[in-house]
Amino acid sequence: MTVLERAPFLAILAALTVAMGAGERVGPAAFSILALFVASGVLLCSFQQNIRGQRALFAAMLFLTLLASLRIAHVLHRPLLPPLYVRGEGTVTEVRPWGRTYVAVLETREGRFLLRLPFATVTEGTRLAVEGVSRPLRRSGRGGFDEERFWRGYGVAAWLSPSKLEPTPRQPWNLHRLRYAVSRLLSIHLPKLTGAYLRAAWTGHRDESLNAAHRAWGTSHLLAVSGFHVGVVVLCAAPLLRRGRARVPLLSLLLWGYVLLTGAAPSALRAGVMIQSALLAELLGRPRCPVNSVAVAAVGLLLYAPFLFWNIGWRLSVLAALLIAAMNEEGSLKGTRFWLALSPTIWLVSFPQAAHTFGSVPLAGLPLNFFASAFFAAAFSMASAAAFLYLAGMPLTSWLLDAAEGGFFLWGCLADGIVALFPWSIAWGPFMSWCGAGLLFLWLCRAMRFPWIKTVLIAGAGALASFLLFL
């Protein structure tokens, strides 16, 4: 099975990734040329003359790569010109800590703006009447945190310095108010740890102390809503729905309802698009390739919001999903061996990206991730069921919440013990990107059934490209 046969969108994803990684060094025209060059190289590696339709598919993929690169180059190099003076009403879509203060994302007719708050004076879903002057997002140099790239990935246009900021008389219900109400309900009525974990899983609101603990453990991905959580929700719901015409629509409704309730994080959106493509393939009765599904989801999100490329959540989510899909497609590891190899392999591939963003990653994350995913998949499912029964007023369910609270407490004790045994952190270096990219390309080439000589050459080229992009 070749790239052209099984995962043609993988070539487009590789082309856009390399071009965007080098985006600061090339102009719009060179951006598209570089993307076409990379896509051609990936596709030619799998081109076979004796297979019918290869030439047409090759040309179609290059044409789609050209269109995608032109769209992204236009967005990246287009000057951002938000209105200088903003006056009207808007809805607060997100409130989050930002350094020693808080920021709120305000969605208005003129676009999305950031409000700096000394403390959380407003809640999500609040309707505000606002007047003020906008100021641009800061653009940092290469190698540091780029405020503009980060917030443009969320659709934010500029900061807003308000001269008027007050709630409107009418406060209609919306998804953001519902999200805040669910978060508050879980916080008030559930035990401390269980409530904090379920708020993170169901609304995307993370407790700062719990978030700091998971960063020290190297398991922050378990709190950030990602493909892991979306997959758990769909897998738990799928057995409850028997095969029939309503199965796919109901699962799709549950899928996107959950993604929207959690705040539609980039990693959750990627997982949602990927799972939706798999559901459509099931509905149409067509075979699906997990690697291609991941590539389609990643390319689609890049076309929708190109600045997501610099979002660490999106990057880690795509890396993990590609690796899982490639290992599953390759088929040499099955059953217990697959699950034992999965977590450490994902960690080895993704930790260079995390270290590049945060400076270092704790070594304890490697042994913890051997069993962390399995534990939290079971813990989230059981705690969610217990919370639903308890909040619905079912008798004799409080002990289920106590059991969940005890399980999360024991996890914290175990994680602290492993951190004490492995107290070291790994600082970032360019060679780490070389190793991580090489391992990822190795699995992708084996999944596409490339011979070993071609696999080594492609993995080496991918690793070298990653090394050069991070210098």
Query: Is the per-residue pLDDT at 465 higher than 70?
Result: no
CB atoms inside a 10 Å sphere around CB 175? 16
Quick one: tokens of 163? Answer: 């001269």
Quick one: tokens of 311? Answer: 């979002």
Residue ranges covered by each domain of the chain: 1-78, 85-172, 178-427
* pLDDT confidence of residue 332: 58
* pLDDT confidence of residue 198: 92
Each residue's pLDDT tens digit, 55-103: 778 888 889 999 999 999 888 887 777 888 889 899 999 888 887 888 9
* pLDDT confidence of residue 159: 92
Each residue's pLDDT tens digit, 242-258: 666 777 788 888 888 88
HEC profile for 255-319? Answer: HHHHHHHCCCCHHHHHHHHHHHHHHHHHHHCCCCCHHHHHHHHHHHHHHHCHHHHHCHHHHHHHH
Query: Is the per-residue pLDDT at 346 higher than 90?
Result: no
* pLDDT confidence of residue 281: 73
Rounded distance between C-alpha atoms, residue 355 and residue 362, angstroms: 9
Query: Backbone phi, then psi, for 103, in 5-degree steps?
Result: -130, 150
Rounded distance between C-alpha atoms, residue 353 and residue 355, angstroms: 5
Weakest mean pLDDT among 122-136, 204-218, 324-338, 355-369: 324-338
Quick one: tokens of 417? Answer: 């013990």
CB atoms inside a 10 Å sphere around CB 401? 20
CATH code of the domain made up of 85-172: 2.40.50
CB atoms inside a 10 Å sphere around CB 395? 7
| Residue recorded with tokens 């993929």 | 61
Quick one: tokens of 450? Answer: 């490339």
| Residue recorded with tokens 């596709």 | 43
> How far is C-alpha 457 from the geometric centre of its chain's CA atoms?
29
The number of residues making up the chain comes to 471
Each residue's pLDDT tens digit, 367-416: 888 888 888 888 898 999 899 988 888 877 788 888 999 999 999 999 99
* pLDDT confidence of residue 414: 93
Query: Is the per-residue pLDDT at 164 higher than 70?
Result: yes
Each residue's pLDDT tens digit, 245-292: 777 788 888 888 888 888 888 888 888 888 888 777 767 666 567 788
Instruction: Supply the mean pLDDT for the chain.
Output: 82
Each residue's pLDDT tens digit, 119-131: 777 888 889 999 9
Rounded distance between C-alpha atoms, residue 371 and residue 418, angstroms: 13
Indicate the pLDDT class of residue 455, thresholds 50, 70 and 90.
Answer: confident
